[in-house]
Amino acid sequence: MMVEFEPSAEPAALAPQQVVREFHRLIDSGAPIRCAGDARDDPESLLSSGYTPKYRVDLFDTRFYLTNVRQNPDIRFFVAYVVQENHRTGGTEFFPRIFYKDISLIWRSASHFIRSDDENWIGKGEMRTYVIDGEEIEQSAEETTDLPLEIQTALEALNRKARRVPHDEVAIALVLRRGHDDRIEPYRDFVEPRERARSDPRNLINRGRSIAHFSRKKDPTSLRFAKGFEPDFDGGVVEFGTSKSKLYGGCLQRFRILSKNRKIQYLFFAGPHSAWIIPPQTTAGNLTSYGVRAIDVIADEDLCIPGYEYHFMDHSEDPPVLVSQIPEGFVGATNGFDPTRADASGWIERLPVIQEFRRKLLKGSRNRSVSR
């Protein structure tokens, strides 16, 4: 069966010097750099400060220029320039962004940041209201900052390519807009394109309703998918790759898998001790200037708990409070590499979709691809 899907993007076959020349030609032609951070009054100072891109990745109608990977004590990241056409003026615009690797091993685009004597936090996108123990709580919907699944492998390849990763405490403030200590919600430039896209009902996935839910509270075996939105393990694998992680104990397998109706896609990870699902995304394009999709796929958050998740006592509070993102009763051993994380496999391995994933892909052929 012929299936329409976007293949995974690869870095352009250009030497770093060629990427630099191409980038400067666009800048010299008058394309503006729209910076939100401290460099906004002199955005070209990013280039003179060493943040000139060395790689290019193309996806849909968006071009990503990327510097060499950098890191600070909190995150590993690229300074990225998201290049898009302004449909009102017809001109090209550059948007400097920070693409960073989350603990779940997904690459994200930070929405803003907070840094003070009391706070040090990377903005995690749009706010969403959740009901927790009968109480409505507004929290960041972190998956709204997930970069497209189609460029995850390219970013990981460029990350692994680096022989030496420089320490960088400067780029975040130059590129990202700073919020005050209580500013969890993103700014309008992150939110508005998403609101416009959602205003057209034709763009919504499953009419804006969840594609997966649990019919019984705190019971992982009660997971149910909306018809057609189940991952297609038999004919929907469009990419297979590998990577490594100290947190997860070694080599990881990565599978990008289409849903049965081909409207959404999943990224499954499998390591020596854990398997988990990255929040699903639509297969349609429509990327914002942050490089993320404008339309979300809504799913119960307990579908996408990573193999190791936050579970620790926060002693900065008086009295100390337990911080946990693992369902109660399913917390495993503390991770030896990161003591703020605990094993969540007690929940994950009881999910029927993970059991099917292990049965069909981890014990059999690893790459049952579909034809384009």
pLDDT, tens digit, 9 for 90 and up, residues 61-89: 999 999 999 999 999 999 999 999 987 88
220 and 296 part of one domain = yes
Which residue has better confidence, 344 or 119? 344
Which residue has better confidence, 163 or 106? 106
168 and 210 part of one domain = no
Nearest to 17 by CA among 59, 57, 56, 48: 56
Q: Quote the pLDDT of residue 358.
A: 97
d(CA 142, CA 279): 9
Q: Quote the pLDDT of residue 145.
A: 98
Total residues found in the chain within this entry: 372
239 and 182 part of one domain = no
The region of weakest confidence among 47-56, 79-88, 305-314, 356-365 is 356-365
How many independent structural domains does the chain possess?
A: 2
The region of weakest confidence among 13-17, 90-94, 363-367 is 363-367
Q: Quickly state the pLDDT bin for 4 (edges 50, 70, 90).
A: low
181 and 215 part of one domain = no
229 and 190 part of one domain = no
Q: Quote the pLDDT of residue 138.
A: 86
User: What average pLDDT does range 121-135 have in this prediction?
Assistant: 83
d(CA 297, CA 277): 13
Q: Quote the pLDDT of residue 1.
A: 36
Q: Quote the pLDDT of residue 314.
A: 87
Does some domain include residue 101? yes
Q: Quote the pLDDT of residue 2.
A: 41
Does some domain include residue 45? yes
Half-sphere exposure of 105 (CA within 13 A, CB side): 31
Q: What share of the chain is helix, strand, coil (3-state, %, to 5)?
A: 20, 30, 45
Contact between 38 and 135 under an 8 Å Cβ cutoff? The reply is no
User: What average pLDDT does range 351-366 have in this prediction?
Assistant: 85
Nearest to 313 by CA among 276, 277, 342: 342
305 and 229 part of one domain = yes
d(CA 237, CA 260): 11
Does some domain include residue 114? yes
Q: Quickly state the pLDDT bin for 367 (edges 50, 70, 90).
A: very low
User: What average pLDDT does range 233-260 have in this prediction?
Assistant: 94
Which residue has better confidence, 213 or 4? 213
User: What average pLDDT does range 236-243 have in this prediction?
Assistant: 94
What proportion of the chain, given as a percentage, has pLDDT over 90?
A: 82
| Entry pTM | 0.93
Q: Which residues pair with 33 in a beta bridge?
A: 94
- Which helix H or strand E contains 27, and what residues bound it? helix 16-28
252 and 294 part of one domain = yes
Does some domain include residue 367? no
60 and 157 part of one domain = yes
127 and 95 part of one domain = yes
143 and 173 part of one domain = yes
> Which of 194, 215, 237 delimits the end of a domain?
194
pLDDT at 133 over 70: no
Domain that holds residue 317: 204-362
Q: How many CB atoms lie within 10 A of CB 298?
A: 20
55 and 124 part of one domain = yes
126 and 245 part of one domain = no
Q: Over the chain, what is the mean pLDDT?
A: 92
CB contact set of 197 (below 8 Å; sequence gap of 6+): 203, 286, 294, 295
